[in-house]
Structure 1
Amino acid sequence: MTRLRHVLGRARFFVREFSGEAAYDHYVAHARAHDPDAAVPSRREFERARTDAREGDPRTGFRCC
């Protein structure tokens, strides 16, 4: 049973990393490490800014839908 949990935990880790879901967690950890008193945006604000930056980059093109 513990082996299965370990394997599932590792699979979850890789899925979160490859899908970008863990980006906010990494951002918060980085912000807290560099300035613990700084205001950290909510996940919604972070994702909105991330999407805006991605869509505003002319090298990647524009989202069609």
Structure 2
Amino acid sequence: MSRLIAAPRRAAAWLRWYVTELTGENAYERHVERLRRADPAAPVPSRREFERQRVDRRYGGDPREGPHRGCC
């Protein structure tokens, strides 16, 4: 009987992990882990700061500068 309960729980845990990896929800936690491993005294950005930097890196920052800010 316990196998019947454990299998769906394992499947749900795997699905949750997969979705959070796919959507990038775990990116902040991984970033904080890497910072702490490299230098435990290093300042850790807030989640909001991290997400803002991540979006700026991905999309190029200020939209008024155009879509190809760093290109050519």
TM-score class, shorter:
0.7 to 0.9
* 2:25 corresponds to 1:21: yes
| Whole-Å separation in 2 of the counterparts to 1:51 and 1:13 | 22
In the alignment, what sits opposite 1:42? Answer: 46
How large is the RMSD of aligned CA atoms in angstroms? 1.6
Report SS of the residue matched to 2:41: coil
Quote how far apart the aligned CAs of 1:48 are.
0.5
In the alignment, what sits opposite 2:12? Answer: 8
Return the letter of the residue paired with 2:55. Answer: T
Quote how far apart the aligned CAs of 1:3 are.
1.5
Q: 1:51 aligns with which of 45, 55, 62?
A: 55
Percent sequence identity is 46
| Whole-Å separation in 2 of the counterparts to 1:5 and 1:55 | 37
Quote how far apart the aligned CAs of 1:35 are.
0.5
Quote how far apart the aligned CAs of 1:2 are.
1.7
Count of residues in correspondence between the two structures: 59
Q: Which has the larger radius of gyration?
A: 2
Q: Give structure 1 stretches of 5+ with no counterpart.
A: none
